[in-house]
Amino acid sequence: MSELPRSPRSRFATVIAAGVAGTTVEFYDFFLYGAAAATVLGPAFFPGSDGLLGVLQALVTYAVGFAARPIGGLVAGHFGDRIGRKRLLFLSLLTMGLASVLIGVLPGYDRIGVAAPVLLTVLRLVQGFALGGEFGGAVLLVAEHGPARRRGFWTAWPQAGGPLGNLLATGALAAAAALSGAHYTSIGWRIPFLASLVLVLIGLWVRMRVTESPLFTEALRTERPERAPLLRVLREQPRALFAIFAARVGENAAFYVFTIFLLVYAGTLGLPKSAATAAVTIGSLVQVAAMLLGGLASDRLGRRPVAIAAAIAAGAWTAAFFPLVATKDFGLLVLAVCIGLACHGVLTGAQSAFYAELFATTVRYSGVSLGYQSATVLAGAAAPLAGTALLRTTGSPTPIAITLAGCLLLTVLGMISAPETARGTLR
């Protein structure tokens, strides 16, 4: 182990760096698969399924990763509430990195036949399991280290790892496509998966330098760990679980529609892959700033009003999003993505601390992970999958826009169902 930083300020800076670095790497690996599924995995692992059918089959394996996220969240939450946050975060990052590297070297259907898509699905399950324990631990570690009056702002930093990971993933695929040229669909797409090994090693090094949560350590001195923290949450705080689940559904669906499904829809319009990925890359930069702004605003105005306003704005923007993309004008495409991801960024930035503030220290990891990751199965997995299926059936993005607006309405209901938490304490 490396020597711990001496001053409280430098120690907290290390916690922030560990949260951002770890979530960035994990989401890079997870979104890298999503972006590849929307573009190149179909021909490599599902030959004979042309057009949207091949994309849809690749996205099924993409959705499978979400099914494993609640399981990973439950396991990480249980042990994170019993033995600490730090160890689970280290293991989740290591597991994610190994799965991604194996995807990068996995032979295609032309080499090993049906074993290729089967193994691809298994590795996607491992990715989902690893990511399931990431958010709860990374955000909680920051929340339990940081000052209460700026908790919203500081907990938004690990959340920013999502768009930063997406930024790296789409950028890496775009660079690989440019460098490998005609060999992109056979070899080039594998390079970003293999490169994740370097990012994982950096993230692990940073996380080794982090101290355990002071609130968790304090709780262990005063009371025994919960034998079954999840059961206590289910028994005593079902309302809080519903609030997280509902609030997360619209936020999650919006993100995947504005990014992963966008790549699918842009392809049906004949837009170059480079144009769609460039728009997502630019939008991800805007999203990072919006997340920090949302967290800062939630410290001053409250978690609920900021999140509700952002959800309503994102719902309203769906009416303009697809028509702007359909113009095939690059400038309007970037505008559509940037505003959509800005609304999403403010929403998720305001929600980060809100999740942590709903539970006591001894059950916080379990409660946040269960509510947060369960919603990803409904929203994160279903959004691009159902969107692609609807687009293939109807030929129109209108049903997707209506569905997304309904999901964001559920987010509003979730935020309303819980009390304001911005002025509370985590003890």
pLDDT tens digits for range 69-114: 888 888 988 998 888 888 888 888 899 889 989 999 999 888 888 8
Give the pLDDT band (50/70/90) at residue 38: low
In a domain, 313, yes or no: yes
Split at pLDDT 50, 70, 90, the class of 9 is confident
The stretch 37-51 carries a mean pLDDT of 69
Whole-model pTM: value is: 0.83
Predicted confidence (pLDDT) at residue 54 exceeds the cutoff of 80 = no
Expressed as residue numbers, the domain containing 205 is 8-417
Number of domains in the chain: 1
| pLDDT confidence band for 58 (50 / 70 / 90) | low
> Does residue 424 fall inside a structural domain?
no
The verdict on residue 222 lying in a domain is yes
Decide: 274 and 177 in contact? Cβ < 8 Å. Answer: yes
What CATH number is given to the structural domain containing 52? 1.20.1250.20
> pLDDT tens, 398-409?
888 888 999 999
Both tokens assigned to 186: 């056979």
Q: Supply the pLDDT for residue 5.
A: 41
360 belongs to a structural domain: yes
- Report if residue 224 sits inside a domain: yes
Is 51's pLDDT higher than 60? Answer: no
Residue 11 has pLDDT above 90, yes or no: no
CB neighbour list of residue 179: distance below 8 Å, 6 or more residues apart: 188, 191
Residue 39 in this model has a pLDDT that exceeds 90: no
> Is 3 inside any structural domain?
no
pLDDT confidence tier of residue 7, bands split at 50, 70 and 90:
low
Please give the pLDDT value at position 384. Answer: 66
Spatial distance between the Cα atoms of 171 and 284, rounded to a whole number of angstroms: 11
Whole-number pLDDT of residue 2: 40
1, part of any domain: no
Range 382-398 average pLDDT:
78
Query: How many CA atoms lie within 13 Å of 380's alpha carbon, on the beta-carbon side?
Result: 27
Residue 419 scores a pLDDT above 60: yes
Identify the residue with better confidence: 320 or 387: 320
Q: What is the pLDDT of residue 33?
A: 81
What span, in angstroms and rounded, lies between the C-alpha atoms of 165 and 225?
A: 34
Determine the pLDDT at residue 52.
Answer: 62
425 falls within a domain: no
Residues 6+ apart with CB under 8 A from 397: 265, 322, 326, 387, 391
Over residues 212-240, the mean pLDDT reads 86
Q: By mean pLDDT, which of 2-6, 190-194, 336-340 is the weakest?
A: 2-6
